[in-house]
Amino acid sequence: MIERYQTPDMNKIWSDQNKYETWLKVELAVTEVLVEDGIVPKESFEIIKSKADFSVERTLEIEETTNHDVIAFLTNLAENIGPDSRYIHMGMTSSDLLDTSMALQCKQAGEIILKKLKNFKLCLREKAKEHKNTFQIGRSHGVHAEPITFGLKLALWSEEIQRNIERWELALETISTGKISGAVGTYQHLDPEVEDRVCKRLGLKPASVSNQVVQRDRHAFYLNMLAMIGCSIEKISVEIRHMQRTEVLEAEEFFSKGQKGSSAMPHKRNPILTERLTGFSRLLRGNAHTAMENVALWHERDISHSSIERVIFPDSTTVVDYMLMKMTSLMNNLLVYPENMKKNIDLTNGLIFSQEVLLLLIKKGLTREKAYELVQKNAMRVWREKIDFNTLLKSDKEIMEYIKEDELDKLFDLSKILININKVYERLGI
At what angle are helices 417-428 and 150-175 packed, to 10 degrees?
20
Q: Identify whether residues 117 and 223 lie together within a single domain.
A: yes
Q: Identify whether residues 295 and 330 lie together within a single domain.
A: yes
Share of the chain above pLDDT 70, in %: 97
Residue 137 lies in a domain: no
Distance CA 138, CA 357 (A): 18
Question: pLDDT at position 178, please?
Answer: 97
The CATH number linked to 409 is 1.10.40.30
Residue 90's CB is within 10 A of a number of other CB atoms, namely 15
Residue 43 lies in a domain: yes
Q: Phi and psi at residue 182, in whole multiples of 5°?
A: 90, -170
Continuous H helices in 37-137? 42-51, 56-66, 69-81, 94-130
Domain count, the chain: 3
Q: Identify whether residues 23 and 169 lie together within a single domain.
A: no
Q: Identify whether residues 250 and 274 lie together within a single domain.
A: yes
Q: Which residues contact 173 (CB under 8 A, 6 or more apart)?
A: none
Question: pLDDT at position 3, please?
Answer: 82
Q: Identify whether residues 267 and 390 lie together within a single domain.
A: no
The CATH number linked to 23 is 1.10.275.10
* Residue span of the structural domain in which 212 resides: 94-129+145-190+204-340
> In this structure, are residues 232 and 160 in contact, taking their beta carbons and an 8 Å threshold?
yes
Residue 198 lies in a domain: no
Residue 39 lies in a domain: yes
The CATH number linked to 295 is 1.20.200.10
> How confident is the model over 52-111, as pLDDT tens digits?
999 999 999 999 999 999 999 999 999 999 999 999 999 999 999 999 999 999 999 999
DSSP letters, 371-385, are: HHHHHHHHHHHHHHH
**Reported confidence tier of residue 254, pLDDT bands at 50, 70, 90:** confident
Residue 189's CB is within 10 A of a number of other CB atoms, namely 13
> How confident is the model over 132-188, as pLDDT tens digits?
999 999 999 999 999 999 999 999 999 999 999 999 999 999 999 999 999 998 989
Residue 291 lies in a domain: yes
Q: For residue 308, give the 3-state DSSP assignment.
A: helix
Q: Identify whether residues 356 and 396 lie together within a single domain.
A: yes
> In this structure, are residues 330 and 253 in contact, taking their beta carbons and an 8 Å threshold?
yes
> In this structure, are residues 212 and 93 in contact, taking their beta carbons and an 8 Å threshold?
yes
Distance CA 324, CA 303 (A): 32
Residue 237 lies in a domain: yes
> How confident is the model over 301-351, as pLDDT tens digits?
888 888 899 999 999 999 999 999 999 999 999 999 999 999 999 999 999
**Active site members:** 141, 262
Distance CA 330, CA 302 (A): 43
